[in-house]
Every structure is written in C-alpha cells, then in structure tokens.
Structure 1
C-alpha cells in the first residue's frame, strides 16, 4: 500500500456543465479480495463521463459516484485472491467507476497488462473503447474477415478503435463523420463519408454495387434507422451503443427485418456483469494484446490534459472536434 493514506479525486458536485467538476481529498481505497489497487498515471475520457456529469447516466446503486471508466498505471496493492498481477506491474483496466483519481481499485478480471512499447497515456485510452468495440462488433455483431462493417461516428474514440480493429482482422469498413478535417484525419483507416455533404446510404450502395454491409455499429440512433435497415445485407446485424441523435424511432419497416433476417441489438458496458467483462478482457488479451505488442491498433490520442485541467478536458469533449481519445495525465 502507498505510504500516505490520502489522495485527490475528481467529483461531480451537481449535474451540469464542466464547471461542476471539482477536486477533493479523500482516503485511498483498499482493494477487495479480487481487486488490484492502481496508482493512476493517466485516465481516459469517455462519452458516458459526459452523460454522467450532465445527470443523464448515473452509476448503478452501490457503485462510486466518482466518474472515470478506464485507468492506466502501476499496481501498488493486490487483494488476497488476486493471482495474475503483482505489485509493480504496469496495467490498464476497465474500472467500475472511480477512475478520475490518483488511485483506483479495479477488479483483477478487468485488468490488462501494458506491453513494454506502450505508454501510460496510450494504455489509458484502451480499456473502455476496446472492451466496447470487442463486445459489440466482434461478440454481438459477429464481424469476421471478408465482411463489411459500417461505423457511424468514425472519428470518436469508439469509432477509431472499431476501424483499426476491423482493418487488423481483414474486415472492410465504411464510416461517417461530420467534417472534412475528420475525413482527412482517418482516411487511412476506412472509406470515410462526410454525412453533412454526402448521402452515406447512396455512397455505400454505389461502392458495394447495391450489396450493402454485414454489420453496422451505430451511436446516432433514430435518425439513421431507415438508412441502416436499407444498407444491411441478408443476415445483417445492427448494433446500438448509443443514441446521440434520438432514442425513439417513429417508423420501422418490419418487413425488411423479416425478409433479410436482420438482427437488431445493442448494449451498454455499465450494465454488464463481472463475468461478461472478464470474458471480454480474456479475448482482448488473446486476440488484441499481440497487436499492441507489435505497435498496431494503438489508440489515436487527440489531446492530453493535466489532472487540474479536468474542466478543460471536458470542454474539449463537449465541443466534439476531437479525433480519437482525450486523456488526462495524473503523473
């Protein structure tokens, strides 16, 4: 355990804008039997943090209200049942909250080792997006080599991660973004479409000779439902991870779903249980860790901020110009 007993953490004083984030002193947490205590070197920002700050996505009952879903750092204490990690190990992890802090406890099964060639800043941007993409595109979406995937919101942390992983696994992609700068920024990863100046449905139908795509990862929601259903091939899968554009679709063509045998599904990471998260971590360690070790599929980092610049970091995410991830350096 650390020599001292107190640490800084960032709290949401009340629902609202970035000015509602404040730093406070508190006790360093003690790991439960199945947890490791990480001295946090860096943590990543994610859309759920913004929603939580706005009062729209509260933590489940009994879970810390301190935001922060992913951390990278050094193990400084381990619970009595922990077998895979030792004090001194460099790790990143998907937290159950509490990542906006100098120390954070993480369940052992949600921790991944950091390869030697990967920095703490890069590693801090791995867990939330890679867990989410792996669960939704590969587990639920069943995307495989030779298929075609459409990723909406391709310049986001989730989007860039999905495009990189698809590229690594031999899956062709299309993606939508909202500015020409973002088109240029991720042009090496995918066929990028500016949805504000182009009709993404028409472009993809033309490019695929009216064949469409096998899997769609969507964080926009209702406004895109009709186009998504039109674009899906027979046995296609539409996977929702957010509905930033609207949660209620007015009309759905049920005949299309039946004729094409479509699957419409979705998930949130927060609602997954420990066993589900453990399985995702295990598959990432087997399938994706070797890529990171080779310097492949590492997260795109847009900008880093210091701990006491947390409000600025949230403002940057609210503005939405970022391509890739926003990370806060603690040390």
Structure 2
C-alpha cells in the first residue's frame, strides 16, 4: 500500500496546535467502495469535538478527521456500477476526509446537503414558513436554499452580524427575512413575518438558549429538527404545555452514526426528489 498525505493529530487528540500534515496509508477500495481523490473537505463541528477527544469514532470508521468531502473518482472497487473513473462527486463518510484520498461506499456519493433535517423530518412543502438558525453555516445555507427551492413562503435566517445577514439575503435562493439573534427577538420577528401564525419548521443547531423562543416561534402542528446543542443540552424548567396544545413534533438528528443502508437511502431520496432536481448554488 502506498502512502498519502493527511491531517493528523499529535497524541490522537488535543488543541488545534496538535494538527499536522503527515503520512497515512492510502486506502484501497474494497467491494462496493469507491476511491475518491479529495479536492475539498468540510469543517464540521463534530470534527472539532473529535479532535478535542469528545466525540466517539463509529466502529470501522477512520480515525482521520473529516466526514464531508468533494473530489474526483480515481478507482472502483469490485462490483461498483454507479460510478466511473473521472466522475466529480461529493459525499459523506464516517471519517477520513482530511486527506488526499478517501474510500467511500458507492451509495454515499452524490454528483456535485440539510436535506434530512428539512425534507425527511421537517416535511417541508410549498407555502411553509421556515426558520433556520446558524444561517451562515454550511448546513444553514443549504437548508435555506433547499427550503426556497421547495416553495417555502418565507425563510427566516438568524445570524450574529449584519454582514452575514445581508449576505444571506443576497445569495441565489437566499433567505427572505433575517434576524440578528443577539439584538432581536426572533420569535417576535417571525410572528410579524407570518401574520401571527408562526413558522411551520425550525432547524436548530443552538439548543438551550434558543429553546423557549423556538417553541414560541412554531405554529400549530409545527416541526423542529435539532441538529446540535452548541449553547448547551439541558433546558431547565421546561413547560410541556405548548408542545401538547400546539401538537408540535420535535426530532433530534445525527447522521454519522447512522447505518450505511440508512445514509444510502437518504442520498437516493435526495437525488430523486423532483423539487431539488436543479442544482443548489
């Protein structure tokens, strides 16, 4: 097996200063796998937690950081039929994306992403009102654009600076409304935007500090998907009343720990969705 360059961690975990570029074994695709030469990889919060020693590595996953990547197919494992050498792809992995090459199950690749939270769990449909927190994050941007392509009536994004908010309004299929969560009450703002109804879907990464206003923001039969809890995971003195009388659905979601079969099915649904057949810019 030949070697490749990869971003490694001195001692296995630690501060950012422990990251360095070193050598690792270049993976060899097994049956049903595709070898991808990585052009770019995403920085995911779970990568940071793993580097700090606070995120467990799923069984069989690479200890190299990185779960999101894009690149070019360079080699096919036995039985692969969906892809050809030279295809430009992006995809998901249990780890290993901070490197020159990565092995990936063929069903976890897509040609030329937020889909699970918004479409599968949020069940977004034409005319819905959507609230997206961390709007300027990678997943936040994708969520906003997918919501617009799905026909949402309004998409309100929250962020912490005017520069981010202005940019989110300016991008193709960007937010219809924005709120600075540090200086404005996003629950009050979405009530104004929706003529008092509230939003049908909330996509939240923040957790504890946003909980009460998220519940207040939701309309009758509203759905909230929680993807992370960056402000904390414990909410003291929770009032369950609004969840009951508004008939709310609250869904937690992770992806890295899901089975290959689940992730393959999710990607297949994304690729076949008529609403999202055009490219998200």
The one of 195, 209, 218 equivalent to 1:232 is 218
1:65-214 map, 5 Å: 65-114=63-112, 130=113, 133-171=114-152, 172-188=154-170, 189-190=174-175, 191-214=177-200
| Whole-angstrom distance in 2 between the partners of 1:253 and 1:149 | 23
1:12 correspondence with 2:9: yes
Q: Which stretch shifts more, 17-26 or 96-105?
A: 17-26
5+ residue gaps, structure 1, are: 115-129, 299-331
User: What TM-score comes out, normalization by structure 1 length?
Assistant: 0.79
Deviations 1:174-204 (A, max 9, x none): 1111111111111232201011111111111
| Whole-angstrom distance in 2 between the partners of 1:237 and 1:110 | 27
**Matched positions, count:** 274
| Whole-angstrom distance in 1 between the partners of 2:73 and 2:188 | 50
1:221 correspondence with 2:218: no
Deviations 1:41-93 (A, max 9, x none): 22222222112112222311332110111222222211112111122222222
Aligned twin of 2:30: 32
5+ residue gaps, structure 2, are: none
Q: Tell me the SS of whatever aligns to 1:246.
A: coil
- Quick one: higher RCO (CA 8 Å, sep 6+), 1 or 2? 1
Aligned twin of 1:21: 19
Q: Tell me the SS of whatever aligns to 1:61.
A: coil
Aligned twin of 1:290: 277
User: What TM-score comes out, normalization by structure 2 length?
Assistant: 0.93
Q: Tell whether the 8 Å contact from 2:191 to 2:198 is kept in structure 1 after alignment.
A: yes
